[in-house]
């Protein structure tokens, strides 16, 4: 592998997994990514290959038929996949978040029922927290779950579901009446099974269709409309209501490491494209890579690629150590997303007019990078999280 974005201290198994994924990306993803992205076509063959490699069960424990690897391994795999095509890493991300939530917070029955099928890829998951009328104010959600005997009836509208159409399991946050003063203590996560596809996919549950997006194409991003959808009580995550906000925040925390990894992957690919093009394109009688201005730009890009990667790795390792990592994950997501945008733009500038052509891969990256600025929380949200945690850590004594 190249000199940039190396990770020290990996086991032989981790190195083998990453080498296999790197080869898969170079052979199966990069050659077809731009064509599929321009057509907004779901990468069915690529997903099939990932299922065969066991990537959908990468972090699921071996006792549930998974590989049982760490968050670090998963993040490095995501970085490799995003280097090929960011949309493909998105297909894994929400599935991974839901599997993580079930592993961490599910009942024994929920783990035994869902995790083996999620590991083999026959159950694929979507994560549903956002709604049309709210952004970062999760406590203001309006979707409601009302008790009806042993079941719940859920009504509301959800937004921005990655895998909303192709999934057959949705982890959904809804408001339940727990009688608590704090809004976040009146929320519950439900595990809702459905049929893949669009239209009515379960009685009362409708997936209207794919949302049109500037980038992040191929993967299906959807709304979800619920009208008295009946969900059995044993499909409350963890078996107890009122804990949904904590469940979702735990999922988002590891999701931020994932988004940071995606940003690292795109930035690395943009650097690869930029440094290759700079050696192929000539002006004033020599390759533009020999012009000092371009060398300065390449140096700045490389520093940003390396810094973002190392911060992402640290965030994953802190979580793997069983420690709270919202500070590290917030820092990593913020820095990696911002640097990704800057590295992609610099590579775009190096390409000159050709960067604006759909024939060149950098055009696709230029449209994909902005999604990472808002996914799993905007830069402003990350800075708020980091600022609050710093005040906790450095609180004056006395």
Each residue's pLDDT, cut to its tens digit, for the chain (398 residues) gives 578 999 999 999 999 999 999 999 999 999 999 999 999 999 999 999 999 999 999 999 999 999 999 999 999 999 999 999 999 999 999 999 999 999 999 999 999 999 999 999 999 999 999 999 876 777 789 999 999 999 999 999 999 999 999 999 999 999 998 888 888 889 999 999 999 999 999 999 999 999 999 999 999 999 999 999 999 999 999 999 999 999 998 998 888 999 999 999 999 999 999 999 999 998 899 999 999 999 999 999 999 999 999 999 999 999 999 998 999 999 999 999 999 999 999 999 999 999 999 999 999 999 999 999 988 888 898 999 999 999 999 999 87
Give yes or no for a contact between 210 and 218, defined as CB atoms under 8 angstroms apart: no
pTM of the full structure: 0.94
pLDDT at residue 3, as a whole number: 84
pLDDT at residue 210, as a whole number: 93
The count of other CB atoms within 10 Å of the CB of residue 44 is 11
Which residues lie closer than 8 Å to 271 by C-beta, 6 or more apart?
4, 298, 301, 302, 305, 343, 347
What is the torsional sign of CA 25, 26, 28, 31?
positive
The count of other CB atoms within 10 Å of the CB of residue 246 is 15
Query: CA-CA distance, 356 to 340, in Å (whole number)?
Result: 18
Q: Coil, helix or strand for 256? A: helix
**For residue 339, which of 256, 270, 255 has the smallest C-alpha distance?**
270
Q: Is 139 exposed, middle or buried (0-12, 13-18, 19+ CB in 10 A)?
A: middle
* C-alpha to C-alpha distances, 347 to 55, 99, 285, 342, 355, nearest whole angstrom: 30, 36, 21, 9, 8
C-alpha gyration radius of the chain: 21
Give yes or no for a contact between 247 and 65, defined as CB atoms under 8 angstroms apart: no
Residue whose entry in the numeric block shows the structure tokens 């959800």: 158
E-assigned strand segments in 251-324: 282-283, 286-287
Give yes or no for a contact between 222 and 69, defined as CB atoms under 8 angstroms apart: no
342, two tokens: 């800057």
pLDDT at residue 397, as a whole number: 85
Active site residue 376: yes
What is the torsional sign of CA 198, 201, 206, 211?
negative
pLDDT at residue 140, as a whole number: 84
pLDDT at residue 1, as a whole number: 52
Which residues lie closer than 8 Å to 102 by C-beta, 6 or more apart?
110, 111, 114, 115, 118, 171, 191, 237
What is the torsional sign of CA 240, 241, 243, 249?
positive
Catalytic residue, candidates 80, 131, 363, 376: 376
């Amino acid at each position: 592998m190249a000199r940039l974005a190396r990770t020290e201290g990996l086991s032989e198994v981790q190195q083998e997994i990453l080498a296999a994924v790197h080869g898969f990306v170079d052979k199966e993803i990069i050659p077809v990514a731009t064509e599929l992205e321009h057509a907004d076509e779901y990468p069915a063959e690529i997903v099939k290959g990932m299922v065969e490699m066991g990537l959908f069960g990468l972090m699921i424990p071996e006792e549930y038929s998974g590989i049982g690897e760490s968050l670090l391994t998963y993040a490095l795999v995501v970085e490799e996949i995003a280097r090929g095509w960011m949309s493909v890493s998105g297909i894994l991300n929400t599935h991974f978040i839901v599997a993580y939530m079930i592993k961490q917070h599910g009942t024994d029955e929920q783990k035994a029922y869902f995790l083996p099928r999620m590991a083999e890829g026959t159950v694929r998951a979507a994560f549903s927290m956002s709604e049309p009328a709210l952004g970062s104010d999760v406590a203001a959600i309006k979707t409601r779950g009302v008790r009806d005997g042993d079941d719940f009836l859920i009504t509301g509208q959800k937004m921005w579901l990655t895998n909303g159409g192709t999934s057959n399991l949705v982890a959904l946050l809804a408001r339940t009446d727990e009688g608590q003063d704090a809004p976040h203590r009146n929320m519950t996560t439900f595990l809702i099974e459905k049929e893949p596809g669009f239209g009515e996919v379960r009685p009362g549950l409708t997936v209207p269709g794919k949302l049109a997006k500037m980038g992040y194409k191929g993967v299906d991003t959807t709304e979800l409309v619920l009208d008295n959808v009946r969900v059995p009580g044993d499909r409350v995550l963890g078996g107890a209501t009122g804990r949904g906000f904590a469940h979702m925040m735990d999922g988002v925390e590891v999701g931020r490491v994932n988004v940071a990894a995606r940003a690292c992957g795109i930035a690395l690919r943009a650097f690869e494209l930029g440094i290759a093009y700079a050696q192929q394109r000539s002006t004033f009688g020599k390759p533009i890579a020999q012009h000092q201005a371009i060398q300065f730009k390449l140096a700045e890009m490389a520093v940003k690629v390396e810094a973002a990667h190392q911060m992402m790795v640290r965030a994953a390792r802190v979580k793997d150590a069983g420690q709270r990592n919202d500070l590290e994950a917030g820092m990593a997501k913020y820095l990696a997303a911002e640097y990704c945008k800057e590295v992609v733009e610099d590579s775009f500038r190096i390409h000159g007019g050709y960067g604006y052509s759909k024939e060149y891969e950098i055009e696709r990256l230029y449209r994909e990078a902005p999604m990472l600025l808002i996914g799993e929380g905007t830069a402003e949200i990350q800075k708020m999280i980091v600022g609050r945690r710093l005040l906790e850590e450095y609180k004056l004594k006395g």
